[in-house]
Amino acid sequence: MPGPAPKPAAQRRRTNAVPGTVTLPATGRCGPPPAWPLDGDAPESWVTLWALPQAVAWERLRMVDVVARYALVRRAAELLNKDALTEARLLEDRLGLSPMAMLRLRWEIAEAPPEQAESAGVSRIDDYRDL
């Protein structure tokens, strides 16, 4: 996805013909993760990925297979496989797992009320890596 990130709506000069921003819930996706679509066992990150706010958009876009491939590539990247590291970075961009990717996809995470922000297990994009 080349080029600069889009400007927020308030900073744009032309407000016509621009797709709107999708607001994702700060609490993440509720419910159990989808069934593992590929052969073999699901990686440990499968459940964690489907609890992220971005998972709400993935579900709407029917991206279960793409997220499954990312989970497998991420597991290989953790073993420092150079090719897997590159592929993981590319898939992270496609799945909106970095701040720049979220800007390009026009996704933003809603602000959680202060009491929810402290109790939520995953409230930021990078928190899923700490689990």
The reply to whether 3 falls in a domain is: no
pLDDT band at 10 (very low <50, low <70, confident <90, very high): confident
Q: For residue range 96-131, list pLDDT tens digits in order.
A: 999 999 999 999 998 866 665 455 555 555 555 555
The reply to whether 87 falls in a domain is: yes
The residues, any chain, with a CB within 8 Å of residue 130's CB and separated by 6 or more, are: none
- Look at residues 129, 120, 128, 126 and name the one whose alpha carbon lies nearest to residue 26: 120
Q: For residue range 22-64, list pLDDT tens digits in order.
A: 999 999 999 999 999 999 999 999 999 999 999 999 999 999 9
| Structure tokens that stand for 28 in this block | 């993440």
Mean pLDDT of 71-86: 93
Q: Residue 102: give the domain boundaries.
A: 39-107+120-131
Give the predicted TM-score (pTM) of the model.
0.73
Specify the number of domains making up the chain: 1
